Amino acid sequence: MKISNNKILITGGASGIGLGLAERFIKENNTVIICGRREATLKEVADRFPSIITRTCDLGIETDRVDLYNWIAENHSDLNVLINNAGVQNWMDISDPNFYKKANDEITTNIVAPVHLANLFINLKSIKTIINVTSGLAFIPLSKIPIYCATKAFMRSFTLSLRHLLKSSDIEVIEMIPPALNTDLGAIGMHDEHPPVSDFVESVFAQLEEGKTELTFGTSETRANANNEVINDYFNKMNP
């Protein structure tokens, strides 16, 4: 993937990793479009970065996903990069009375939405790159966030298959595998002790320039390359 002169859609681009990527891509002379549910948050980002293009939509709603694609096809038909970044993370126990509802919300946002968007956006003639943001937790789960980890394992598997399915096309499929970072994913303050998003972004940009299609950082690199013995040991330490 080339680093500059793209038109890029980043889902969940108003905060966390999505915002960090948006800011960095803008610096590299890219046109960046972000989408999210909260109009006020999108406006705050647009005020900070006047060149950014925003679109309010709820990716958990099928018609919103279709409307997003149709809007892109009509107004930004030269879009060539889709970054499936939006995600929901719920810390919960199986005995939680709202477990199923929360799980369903996570599955819809973390799996159904990016799968649907990939299926839609491959029809855009200009599309050249699809980036799916997974997680180090796709390899070794944390039991306190069981559905989130499972959705990321699904997306890891789907990304491998999608890359193979599109190998005869001109579409490159990249997996971005972050570890825990200092974001508000899950809850405000939950990840304060973890590395800043900016460090992760700088690392993955360097890897993009090297032509890598699996982008890791810190502990996600260790987990992605772990054998079964290491995975079992890691799991036991994470889930005492």
Which residues are tagged catalytic? 148
Residue with structure tokens 């919103």? 64
Listed residue (117, 114, 73, 110) closest to 89, CA to CA: 110
Report d(CA 206, CA 240) in Å as an integer. Answer: 35
**Which whole-number Å values give the CA distances from 221 to 17, 42, 172, 175, in the listed order?**
17, 32, 21, 12
Tokens of 10: 């980043």
Over the range 27-37, which residues count as b (16 or more CB within 10 Å of their CB) and which as e? eeebbbbbbbb
Question: Hey, what amino acid is at 39?
Answer: E
